[in-house]
Every structure is written in C-alpha cells, then in structure tokens.
A = this chain, B = another copy of it.
C-alpha cells in the first residue's frame, strides 16, 4: 500500500560517474563539445537479475540527484521527493531500482559552469557551452549504459523533469517501457520564457555577476534571489497564496508605511530567495532556464504529432488544475499528439490548489496514479489490456 509515506529509505550516498573524456567529448546540440562530464547520481533499492526494474527520476530546474533518504542521520530535512521514493511508497524501493541523476549544467556535483574548465584550469563560467534538454538526456543515457541497463522500466519527472521524460521517449524510444511526465509541457510557453528571461536579467544586471566571473565570496545574490522569487510566484496559485498568506502582515497588526518587508507573502518570498542563493549557482540558473526556453519537442517540423511518431513507451501524463505555469492544456496537447500516434496513454488532471508546486505536494493522488500505472501498464507484465 501507499499510505506509509513516513518510512524513509534511510542513509543514501551520492555517487559520481565521469565520461566523455578526451577525445570522446559529448557532442552538444549547440555544435560544441563538452568533456569530461561528471554526473552526480543516487540509487535507491536493488536492481533485479534481469535489470528490468530500473526507474530513472529526472529532476526539475533547481532539483538535484538527492531525491530520497538522508546523507547523515542528523540531516535536518528530507529531500525533494522523499515522500514518493522509498519502501512502500509510489516508487517502491522494495520492488524497483530507482536512479536519480543531477543534470549536466547543474551545480550539485555534475559538470556545469562552476566546474573547472580543463583547458584553462579555471571555472568555466560563461565559457561553459549551452546545454539543452536533449544534451541532458544524452548524458543521462551514458550513465544508464554505464549502469549496464539496456532498458529502463520507466522514466519519470515533474516540470523540467517531465521535459526530460518526453525527450527520452523521443530520442531513445527502445530504452524505456514507460514514461510519466508530470506538470510538464512539450514546449515552453512565451509567458514562461518571459519569466525566465526576467530572472536571468536580474542576475546579469547584478554588479556582482561580473559577466559570470564572480567569486564564491561575492556572488550575485541580489539578482539570483529576485530570479528565485519570480520563480516561486509562478509555482504557487493565486488561491494557494490567498489561503497561505492572504493579505496578512508579518508579526504585526498595522502597517509601518515603510519599504520594509511587511506582508507575509513578501517575507516568504524573501526567505525563499535568501535560502536559494546559499544553495544554487547563479550561472547554473542562467544555463538551465535557457535550456528550458529552448525546449520545443515539436521542432524541427513544427508538428508535435510527427515528432512524437517514434515513441514506444506507455505514458501516464499528469497535470494539476491550478498550475498556471504549465497549465493542463499543455499536458493535453502531449496526450493528443501521443494518442494520434496510437501510443498507450493515460491522462489525469489532479484537482489541486497548489499550483505548479503540486507535483511536490499532491503525494497521495500522485502515488495512487503511479502505483497503478507501474503495476498495470508495464508491457513486461503482459496485462496491459487490463489497464
């Protein structure tokens, strides 16, 4: 059953896989090459004898490889999908071998703009080549090959993780049996591009940014914090903000008529911004948001159905009713294009007030859908018809 969401998988560790060493650098979509590439990754559960129980989790914009468990018994908080991954949970580690890798371009142990450029022995900064969602997926594929897995049972992810899921299904159709893109889209909307662009500009006009060549002691925290605050507004719904904060002031009854942080919603955003600048690299934020902006699975033809023609995986597509960043119509667009290609697709719109953040919060609804899907939609189980 899925109800026991309190049991953690326990102590886990981050591992590192390095590949694409000279002269075998990874050819990127932008035309440049990158190597060596290190990917930070974690695994949970045990691979079965025929390696048929492997699930790849793709993380969102600011996520990382540490999706479940703790690194130390004293860890103060649980990682981003701990309530979804573990014994008896949606991604049941008693049954499945779960892999989560940090993306290339990230700043959580994988090669990114903060890494040392072997040609200069200095951090890449803006010399780092532009990476795209397909590049991230190519790098993940190298990790999956390294782990000796010839076919993933499922690739799953929310938000930008869902973009990677879709890209996997298109680029490596034989490498996976099932796919679960959650709160995602086949192409980033102009509105989302606009929010990303403003966030990047906030970073780039910060005096500390220095064309990307800031030092650890002098990061563009003002700009990065603003980018994060903008992001956070788009992750919540109008309704969730009403119920979470309303128009309440922070720690007082009457306004100060000053430019201090007064409203609870301001205080919340400031806090989120402050925490974020301590854990995330500003240049990585630039690269990853740009990768999202470039994502358009309907290209080059412009016809999403045509571009999805090679997909073989069975799909569970999930969206959330109050998500206005990646609204349900975007998921329905994916569903429609897949169905017109006769792909086995299930679709659910979960009623939720949490907005885009629902993919991290609607654990019970998501778990029910995923448990059923993983059990009944796997072609290997032979009871696909019953689903």
Q: Which residues of A contact B (CB under 8 A)?
A: 29-31, 126, 129-130, 187-191, 193-195, 197-198, 200-202, 204-207, 222-223, 225-226, 229-230, 233, 236, 238, 241-242, 244-247, 255, 257-259, 261-266, 269-270, 286, 290, 293-294, 296, 324, 327
User: How many angstroms between the C-alpha atoms of A200 and B230 in the bound complex?
Assistant: 12
Q: A126-B259, A204-B259, A265-B190 are in contact. Are A198 and B238 (CB under 8 A)?
A: no
User: How many angstroms between the C-alpha atoms of A245 and B193 in the bound complex?
Assistant: 11
Q: Is the CB of B247 within 8 A of A194?
A: no
Q: Is the CB of A194 within 8 A of B266?
A: yes
Q: A201-B229, A265-B193 are in contact. Are A247 and B206 (CB under 8 A)?
A: no
User: In the complex, what residues of B have CB within 8 A of residue A226's CB?
Assistant: 198, 201-202, 205, 226
User: How many angstroms between the C-alpha atoms of A233 and B266 in the bound complex?
Assistant: 19
Q: A226-B226, A296-B247 are in contact. Are A263 and B126 (CB under 8 A)?
A: no
Other than A189-B242, A191-B233, give 5 A-B pairs with Cβ distance below 8 A.
A190-B265, A198-B233, A230-B230, A262-B293, A324-B324
User: How many angstroms between the C-alpha atoms of A230 and B298 in the bound complex?
Assistant: 28
User: How many angstroms between the C-alpha atoms of A279 and B262 in the bound complex?
Assistant: 28
- Whole-angstrom distance from the CB of A91 to the nearest CB of chain B? 32
- Whole-angstrom distance from the CB of A371 to the nearest CB of chain B? 33
User: How many angstroms between the C-alpha atoms of A205 and B205 in the bound complex?
Assistant: 10
User: How many angstroms between the C-alpha atoms of A290 and B195 in the bound complex?
Assistant: 22
**Number of identical protomers:** 2
User: How many angstroms between the C-alpha atoms of A61 and B90 in the bound complex?
Assistant: 48
User: How many angstroms between the C-alpha atoms of A106 and B191 in the bound complex?
Assistant: 29
User: In the complex, what residues of B have CB within 8 A of residue A296's CB?
Assistant: 247
Q: Is the CB of B190 within 8 A of A246?
A: yes
Q: A190-B245, A230-B230, A247-B187 are in contact. Are A269 and B198 (CB under 8 A)?
A: yes
A195 closest partner in B (C-beta): B233
- Whole-angstrom distance from the CB of A125 to the nearest CB of chain B? 12
User: In the complex, what residues of B have CB within 8 A of residue A265's CB?
Assistant: 190-191, 193-194, 197
Q: Is the CB of B293 within 8 A of A190?
A: no
- Whole-angstrom distance from the CB of A298 to the nearest CB of chain B? 9
User: How many angstroms between the C-alpha atoms of A29 and B258 in the bound complex?
Assistant: 13
A32 closest partner in B (C-beta): B257
Q: A130-B258, A222-B205 are in contact. Are A191 and B238 (CB under 8 A)?
A: yes
- Whole-angstrom distance from the CB of A236 to the nearest CB of chain B? 8
User: In the complex, what residues of B have CB within 8 A of residue A126's CB?
Assistant: 259
- Whole-angstrom distance from the CB of A80 to the nearest CB of chain B? 22
Q: Is the CB of B266 within 8 A of A193?
A: yes
User: In the complex, what residues of B have CB within 8 A of residue A246's CB?
Assistant: 190
User: In the complex, what residues of B have CB within 8 A of residue A247's CB?
Assistant: 187-188, 190, 193, 296
- Whole-angstrom distance from the CB of A269 to the nearest CB of chain B? 6
